[in-house]
Amino acid sequence: MTPVRLYRTLLIAAALGLSALSGAALAQSTDVAEIVERANQASFYAGDDGRSEARMRIFDGSGREQVRQFTLLRRDGDAGRQRYLVAFSRPSDVRDTVFLVHKNPGADDDRWLYLPGLDLVRRIAPGDKRTSFVGSHVFYEDVSGRHLEDDTHELIDTTDEHYVVKSTPKDPGSVEFAHFTTWVDRDTWLPMRSEYVDGGGDVYRRMTIEAVEEIDGYPTGTRMRMEDLDSGGHTLVEFRFSAYDLGIPESVFTERSLRNPPRQWLERQ
C-alpha cells in the first residue's frame, strides 16, 4: 500500500471511530434518560392511583425506637402531576396528623401538614422539602419523589443486575448533597439503593429497598431502609395491604381532607 493510500485509510478509520464514539455517547445519553424515567415511573407512578398502609420504625443512634403508622393514598394526573395524602393513625401523639402533597413537575410542589393538637394547617416551604418527615430519617421530598429535571444524570456503570446512575443537582445551593448514586434493577426498574454524597466525598445517607413483591401486576418495594450514616440512626418503613387502580377521586386530595380525612378510602378495601 502506498503512503497516500495508507494515509487515506487511516483517516477513514479515524472518522469511523469518531462516528462510533459519538453514536455511543448519544446512545448512553438516551439510555440514561430512559433509565431515570422508567425508574421514576416504577417507584412513584405504578397504576393510575394507589393505597398502602405503612409502619415506620425510627431508630436513633443509640437504638431507641419510635413507631409511626399511616395510610398513604395517591392519584396521578396529567403531565406527571400527582396528589398524595398521608394520614397517621398511631401513636396517639401523631394520630390524625395529615400530610398533603400536590406534585407539580417543572415547578415547586405544594405541601401541607395538618397538626391536630393545634388545629393548625402548616404550609411546608419549598426550602423545607429536604428536612425530616415527622421525626424520621425520611425527608418530605422522599415521600413523593424528587423531580428528574432537578439533576443532571449520568450512567456510570452497568452490571448484570443494575444500571448505576450518578445524579448531580443543577442548583447545588438548594440541597445538602453534592450528588447521589442510584442502583436501578434491570428487570423491575425499581431503584434498589441510593447513596447520597456530601461535599467532602463521603456517603452520609443511604436508601435501600430490602423486599419487593408483585402487587396487581406492579413490582412494589414493600420494605425500605433509610440510614443516616453520620448519626448511626435509621428508619425502616414496611408497606402492607398495597393496592392499585382503585378509582380514588380527585376530591380526596384537597385541603378539606386535611381536617376531614376521607375515611372511605383510608379504610382497607
The answer to whether 163 touches 189, Cβ cutoff 8 Å, is no
pLDDT tens by residue, 40-81? 999 999 999 999 999 999 999 999 999 999 999 999 999 899
| pLDDT tens by residue, 90-126 | 999 999 999 999 999 889 999 999 999 999 999 999 8
What is the Cα–Cα distance from 269 to 261, expressed in whole angstroms?
Answer: 16
The Cα angle at residue 255 between residues 114 and 95, in degrees rounded to 5: 30
- Residue showing cell 425530616: 132
How far is the C-alpha of 141 from the C-alpha of 139, rounded, in Å? 5
Instruction: List pLDDT tens digits, range 117-166.
Output: 999 999 999 889 999 999 999 999 999 999 999 999 999 999 999 999 99
Q: What is the pTM of this model?
A: 0.85
Task: At 81, list the grid cell.
Answer: 402531576
Peptide bond into 91 cis (omega under 30): yes
